[in-house]
Chain A
Amino acid sequence: SQTIHQWPATLVQPVGSPLSLECTVEGTSNPNLYWYRQAAGRGLQLLFYSVGIGQISSEVPQNLSASRPQDRQFILSSKKLLLSDSGFYLCAWQRATYNEQFFGPGTRLTVL
């Protein structure tokens, strides 16, 4: 069966510090991978998605970036965090020819 991992689960960072969130998927190959951000009590905003190694599509302009160095690894980064980067970050995977996406446990980021 497939599982998706995210870490860390919780992170508190000062404004201007760097960020690296990691997501890995097990039990499948060549998945589509996604990063979402969710503000408190709101819907999910798609930030980035990837259909293969090194292939990244950005959905919204911002100071975040994403990378996919391996087939089942997806990383969300920032060089300098802003207060507005606070939120709940979710990683998801999807089989390339299917519609359902499955979510990881999420990382709650607080920027102070």
Chain B
Amino acid sequence: EDKVVQSPLSLVVHEGDTVTLNCSYEVTNFRSLLWYKQEKKAPTFLFMLTSSGIEKKSGRLSSILDKKELFSILNITATQTGDSAIYLCAANQGAQKLVFGQGTRLTINP
């Protein structure tokens, strides 16, 4: 059965801390790994990773994929209260479907 597992499920840190969110996957016909940020409503797209070992960065956020060990991490440095959200990872299965993890609820306290 295809599955994506995220850890931790919940994380509370202080502003300025660095956090690492984990995502492991087992899907057939894997093509890519995607990260989304969900605040109030619709998830917004952050990164798509297709190659192992190549880091993608956007400001304080970065992500990397390990296709041998079947996992990805999302790092956020110098966290701010606006980073509080649910972070979702999803594995693209055969180009048409995404299999989502349970999400990590990140809370940044001032």
B31: CB under 8 A from chain A? yes
Beta-carbon contact of A99 and B45 below 8 Å: no
Which one of B66-74, B76-84, B89-97 is at the A interface? B89-97
Decide: A104 near B42, CB < 8 A? Known: A41-B105, A43-B102, A99-B31. yes
| Alpha-carbon gap, A7 to B32, bound state (A) | 30
Which residues of B sit under 8 angstroms from A34, Cβ to Cβ?
Answer: 98
A35: min CB distance to chain B, Å: 12
Decide: A42 near B103, CB < 8 A? Known: A99-B48, A102-B45. yes
Main secondary structure of the interface of B (DSSP, over half): strand
| Alpha-carbon gap, A44 to B103, bound state (A) | 9
Main secondary structure of the interface of A (DSSP, over half): strand
Q: Mark A90-111, 1 if CB is under 8 A from B, else 0.
A: 1000100101111111100000
Query: How many residues of chain B get a CB closer than 8 Å to chain A's CBs?
Result: 27
Query: How many residues of chain A get a CB closer than 8 Å to chain B's CBs?
Result: 22
Beta-carbon contact of A44 and B97 below 8 Å: no
A40: min CB distance to chain B, Å: 11
- The residue on A at minimum CB distance from B96 is A32
B positions within 8 Å CB-CB of A: 4, 6, 31-32, 34, 36, 41-45, 48, 50, 86, 88, 90, 92, 95-103, 105
